[in-house]
Amino acid sequence: MVKSSFVLALTVLSLFSSQLYSAKCETDTIKRNIFHSEKQDKQEVNKINKDYIIRVKKRASDIKLDGLINEDDWRKGEIINLSHMVLPYDTGQATARSEVMMTYDEKAFYLAFIFHDTVPGKRPVESLRRDFVFTNNDNFSIYIDPFNDQTTGYSFGISASGAQRDGSISNGNVNNLMWDCKWQSVIKNFGDRWTGEVRIPFKSIRYKTGVDHWGIQISRNDMKLNEKSAWAPVPRQFATATLSYAGQLLWETPPRRSGLRLTFIPYLNSSISQNIENGENPKYKYNFGLDSKIGLSTSLNLDLTYNPDFSQAEVDDQVTNLDRFELYFPEKRQFFLENSDLFGSFGTDNIRPFFSRRVGLDAPVLAGARLSGKIGRDWRLGLMDMQTEKEGNLLVRNFFVASFQKKVFARSNVGGVFVNKEQINAPLDWQDGNKYNRIVGLEYNLASRDNFLNSKFFAQKSFTSGKMTSEEYTQGINFAYSRKSHLLEMEELYVGRDYNAEAGYVPRKDYLKVNPKATFNFFPKNGLLEYHGFSTEVVNFYSPWNMELIERQISANYFLQFKNRAHLVIINELNYLVLQKDYDPTNNGKYYLPAESSYKWYKFALSFTSDNSKLFKYLIHSGYGGYYNGERWIVEGNLNYRVQPYGYISLVYSYNNLILPAPWNHSGLWLVGTKLDMTFTDKLFFSTYIQYNQQINNININARFQWRYKPVSDLFIVYTDNYFPEYMVEKNRALVLKISYWFN
């Protein structure tokens, strides 16, 4: 696997050469009006909402993106109405009138909309920041399925303040908002309506050429009405991004190939940092790097990176860690995000053979390549090769991932993954177990056409140099059956004692888990409630060797959803635990409960989320009950006040009062974080995050300024500081300046 980078590079050169030839021939082909003569894609359209069709014609004149909807092409085209209510009910007509129009040309897809108000007053918006939260803003969203596979696609949205939102869709409805691309939009606000125009270049997305229909869904969120509406009807238990419920966009002639898509994103970086705690002098660093995107076809993309820098990534939210296992923090680095499900969705939440945050965790990334996308109608392919630099005692390491998905039936697929982490130029006397670690996995994802049934079956085997046992594997089964009135779930997982995924996320091993869960909803016709119901769950962990119960959690919760979107949950839990290792319940590492000791306790909690259409909103969670050999009282939540459309200030708090016997005695752990997020315009952003974590004895200050001076081209200034809380003695600090530009 040491040579995997060179093999991938040769493959890339071959594909790139063929693409140049293909681009040269394309002009002559288009002149012959190829799309009227070539064989059309005969793939079956989505049957659920097959009668929801919009026929889109090519524009006859120029369209000026000004949000005014005054061009002839808008008046001459079909107009669709977002007449179906999704929330608070999915059986009625939307109260607000919403009209959407579409057209296109050789280079881009255009949309226009007119959203009428039924309730006077300001339209609620959170800020001007990109990738806003759908439920916190009056907004318009479109979801497209260019491959008609009801599994992968893209989302684009605009808030009533003009903020943009874009994401890539995987697994039928999972919307990853960390993905970005170039597109344009303009909105106009009037007293009784707001309007907008959108232009999405075909080169910004992946699609299959020669296809005369795409899946499409359009949605509006009206917070003054607390109403979400859609063009094609969607059962309320599903997100409107659920592609199996999309309607059909029928092109007058299919979008042509967008030509050679070649993007370069160079960056320059300078920084100064100082580790005061270790008595070090300030260190100055200047750096440069390059990201590149090459569209090998309209559905297959190659990403290359050299000396990448991720200093502008948003800081993680700190938490008080009272868990016995490693915590999970999501990936935020742009390079890893497109088609990320091809690499990171194998297995299940706590059994991932590959977790991209392992790459570059303890050593800088030198270079990498990623090939991902669609091949033909039913195949998806992912190849990734990343190499880190030598750092201290850590050798150069190579991370290689190969995966595939083959569509079967309407929405199901079979997939496989291979992960290799390898030490480069390891000495001959290097200790066994450290030279390489490999994972091979297979899985079957079963999804019914109507999305009511979703199941996964997977198995993975690890290989570590110098080690071979019968317990180096894991397997699992997930099952979920969802209807409006109930959700039935079942999970069975096994992780062997010696299963080893060094490039993955597997916080716990050596167990068999059996986890049934049921949720029931009731929908009253009158009153303040939109719905209410209860859920019950049993989580059992067994020792695989003797099937002895080592952990059990039984929960019975009641929830109430109010028509104004406020939400109340009443939580009851019974816990039983046999420790498999010595454990400190405060996670301070001083005193430990012994392995093989057992504990039982009960916990009661309340959680309330307020109406998020108000300028001031809040979340409060409080609970009390047993905790190992003592008791625990917890109060946590979030207070948020927005100054629309310029941003918000929020306070996140958590207090854990641990009442334990000697030698721990009484222990109170505070975590407080305050965040100021300001968006002066849709191109100028500033955020400051101050976090105090008593458990790790640290105060962190992170300030981040961003100027998007061109589309997807940014200037960042990031300042980070860490202090000892007692006397505000400084630990370390850093100042980073980074500028990048998107050439395409």
SS3 letters across 489-532: EEEEEEECCCCCCCCCECCCCCEEEEEEEEEEEECCCCCCEEEE
Taking the C-alpha atoms of residue 351 and residue 344, their distance in angstroms, rounded to an integer, is 10
Query: Which pLDDT belongs to residue 13?
Result: 35
Query: Which pLDDT belongs to residue 260?
Result: 66
Neighbours of 165 (CB within 10 A): 22
Q: Which fold has domain 44-251?
A: Immunoglobulin-like (2.60.40)
Mean pLDDT throughout 267-285? Answer: 93
Query: Which pLDDT belongs to residue 320?
Result: 86
Query: Which pLDDT belongs to residue 561?
Result: 94
The pair phi, psi for residue 24, each rounded to 5°, is: -65, -40
Q: What are 201-256's pLDDT values in tens digits? A: 998 888 888 888 999 999 999 998 889 999 999 999 899 999 999 999 999 999 98
Buried b (16+ CB within 10 A) or exposed e, 244-269: bbbbbbbbeebbbbbbbbbbebebeb
- 370 pLDDT exceeds 50? yes
Query: Which pLDDT belongs to residue 663?
Result: 92
Task: Please count the CA atoms within 13 angstroms of the CA of 111 that sit on its side-chain side.
Answer: 27
Taking the C-alpha atoms of residue 273 and residue 719, their distance in angstroms, rounded to an integer, is 10
**Least-confidence region, from 17-21, 310-314, 427-431:** 17-21
CA-wise closest residue to 291 among 360, 365, 397: 365
Query: Which pLDDT belongs to residue 635?
Result: 97
- 88 pLDDT exceeds 60? yes
- 17 pLDDT exceeds 50? no
Point out which residues pair with 157 in neighbouring strands.
141, 165
Taking the C-alpha atoms of residue 538 and residue 549, their distance in angstroms, rounded to an integer, is 13
- Domain definitions of the chain by residue range: 44-251, 325-510
CA-wise closest residue to 113 among 19, 189, 4, 206: 189
- 39 pLDDT exceeds 60? no
pLDDT over 90, % of the chain: 62
- 393 pLDDT exceeds 70? yes
**Least-confidence region, from 131-135, 343-347, 449-453:** 131-135
Q: How confident is the model at residue 136 (pLDDT cuts 50, 70, 90)?
A: confident
- 574 pLDDT exceeds 70? yes
Assign residue 433 a region: left if phi > 0, alpha if psi is -120 to 50, beta otherwise? Answer: left
Query: Which pLDDT belongs to residue 4?
Result: 41
**Least-confidence region, from 122-126, 196-200, 650-654, 717-721:** 122-126
Mean pLDDT throughout 38-66? Answer: 78
Query: Which pLDDT belongs to residue 258?
Result: 65
- Residue 315 · residue 275 · CB < 8 Å: no
Q: How confident is the model at residue 6 (pLDDT cuts 50, 70, 90)?
A: very low
Query: Which pLDDT belongs to residue 112?
Result: 95
- 108 is written with which tokens? 């881009």
Query: Which pLDDT belongs to residue 32?
Result: 36
Query: Which pLDDT belongs to residue 34?
Result: 31
**Least-confidence region, from 266-270, 337-341, 590-594:** 337-341
- 42 pLDDT exceeds 60? no
Mean pLDDT throughout 680-688? Answer: 91
Mean pLDDT throughout 563-589? Answer: 93
CA-wise closest residue to 231 among 256, 249, 213, 255: 249
- 61 pLDDT exceeds 80? yes
Query: Which pLDDT belongs to residue 208?
Result: 82
Query: Which pLDDT belongs to residue 33?
Result: 36
Query: Which pLDDT belongs to residue 22?
Result: 39
Looking at every residue in the chain, the average pLDDT score rounds to 88
Q: How confident is the model at residue 5 (pLDDT cuts 50, 70, 90)?
A: very low
CA-wise closest residue to 217 among 59, 361, 79, 52: 52
Query: Which pLDDT belongs to residue 120?
Result: 87
- 30 pLDDT exceeds 70? no
- 500 is written with which tokens? 């080893």
